[in-house]
Amino acid sequence: MIFDTEGWVAQLPPKHSRRERFKFSELNWLKGVYDPERMSLSDSDRNDLASRHRDAQVRAAGTMLLSPVHRVQDGFSLGRGRQSEIALAHEFCRLARVTGATHPTPGAHLPRRVAAAIAVDARDLHHSPRAITELTAAYREVDADLLWLWAWNFEPTARQYGHLRFLARRLQRESGKPVLIAGLRSLWEGALRNQIACALQGWGRGRLQHPPFEPPQPTIFDGDEQEDPGWAVHIYHPVIRGSIPLGEVGDEIARLLFRRHPCPCGHHTRSVPPASVRERHFHNRFWADQLGRAAVTGSPIQTTADLRGIVAVAQRTRAKLEMGSLYTAWQKATTDPSDGDRMRAPASLWRAA
């Protein structure tokens, strides 16, 4: 059970909708806007901030405690903001361990672990590859069970994906800890096939951009209710390795795809696209589970080799349907140089053994 307490919300203007909801919580430690490049945290401020985020997650029965994180700029060398983030990660992990917050949860006796969050802007790695060396050297010493890499403003180009993949795997190799990466859009599958231990898949963290999207209304299914007052749900189809556009053109593409490539998910008629919001959610969840399972089954060399055929079929299918080509990052994911065995995240990180 993981609760992202979104420390970076303190960097949003006071009138932003996400900041409005944040200001009445115990995590609202600053009336103004936090600028890590210009403002300094004292030792006591850092301890207070880490304590607030730790306490909020413990009270919510979190079993993996995630350090608060802010968006900073990375250049040729690590700047003031990044140094502050490194110190905050160290303080959070230290505080979680010495205060017993990583002890099993009361009652359920579930194990607790601690994760150190690292937020990077994919554009910074693109313009300053040396930051990868600096970031690895800094975060490999943090006393965490897992390193959680948030990738902001990622565009699925071959170059950006290559830099993020290199950073994640170097962190794994030099720290000896699994890395979870978030913000890669549909490239989460490529990341798993390319030896990154964990990847986040889902609507809310598939893409991280600043300023952030307005969050949708929560989906609530009530009896026979078929529609959701929130945002529309795209239909994923594995043959095209992506989601089908909304609207009339997308509806026609969906009909052709499911007629030619029936779906075995069991949540709708095999040869007909899922219609209701409920069907779409369960259909998409089924394929995320299937693709994730296939991505980590077998050696990294084999899973990468399999991806070459998958991408080739997706490109041909997209061309026949007059859809846009896959992002160039997919081709980068098919040419991954293996550097050893896959690092597996122990099951004890997530649940009782």
CATH label of the domain that carries residue 185: 3.20.20
pLDDT at 215: 61
Torsion of CA 50, 55, 58, 59, to 10 degrees: -160
What average pLDDT does the segment 215-226 reach? 55
In this structure, is residue 226 part of a structural domain? no
Instruction: Return all residues near 156 (Cβ < 8 A) that are at least 6 apart.
Output: 184, 185, 186, 187, 327, 328, 329, 330
Going by pLDDT thresholds of 50, 70 and 90, the confidence category of residue 353 is very low
Going by pLDDT thresholds of 50, 70 and 90, the confidence category of residue 218 is low
Spatial separation of the C-alpha atoms in residues 58 and 60, rounded to whole Å? 5
Instruction: Return all residues near 176 (Cβ < 8 A) that are at least 6 apart.
Output: none
The model's pLDDT over 50-66, given as tens digits with 9 standing for 90+, comes to 999 999 999 998 999 99
> Are 191 and 265 part of one and the same domain?
no
In this structure, is residue 292 part of a structural domain? yes
> Are 43 and 170 part of one and the same domain?
yes
- The predicted model scores a pTM of 0.91
> Are 198 and 273 part of one and the same domain?
no
In this structure, is residue 221 part of a structural domain? no
> Are 112 and 210 part of one and the same domain?
yes
pLDDT at 89: 98
Q: Is the peptide bond before 211 cis (omega within 30 degrees of 0)?
A: yes
pLDDT at 127: 79
> Are 65 and 105 part of one and the same domain?
yes
pLDDT at 211: 73
Q: How many CA atoms lie within 13 A of 199 on its CB side?
A: 29
> Residue 329, Cβ neighbours under 10 Å: how many?
24
At 295, give phi and psi (nearest 5°). -65, -25
Instruction: Return all residues near 252 (Cβ < 8 A) that are at least 6 apart.
Output: none
Structural domain tally of the chain?
2
In this structure, is residue 294 part of a structural domain? yes
The answer to whether 204 and 219 are in contact (CB under 8 A) is no
pLDDT at 223 over 60: no
pLDDT at 262: 98
The answer to whether 92 and 50 are in contact (CB under 8 A) is yes
Going by pLDDT thresholds of 50, 70 and 90, the confidence category of residue 204 is low
> Are 265 and 132 part of one and the same domain?
no
| 135 vs 28, more confident | 135
First to last CA, the chain: 15
Q: Residue 198's beta-bridge partner residues? A: 180
The answer to whether 80 and 88 are in contact (CB under 8 A) is no
Tokens 């040396």 belong to 130
At 134, give phi and psi (nearest 5°). -65, -45
In this structure, is residue 295 part of a structural domain? yes
Task: Enter the DSSP assignment of 184.
Answer: -
In this structure, is residue 156 part of a structural domain? yes
Q: What angle do CA 174, 131, 349 make, to 5 degrees?
A: 40
What average pLDDT does the segment 12-28 reach? 83
pLDDT at 352: 45
In this structure, is residue 34 part of a structural domain? yes
> Are 316 and 173 part of one and the same domain?
no
The model's pLDDT over 145-174, given as tens digits with 9 standing for 90+, comes to 999 999 999 999 999 999 999 999 999 999
What residue numbers bound the domain in which 328 lies? 235-333
The model's pLDDT over 57-114, given as tens digits with 9 standing for 90+, comes to 999 989 999 999 999 989 878 899 999 999 999 999 999 999 988 888 877 787 899 9
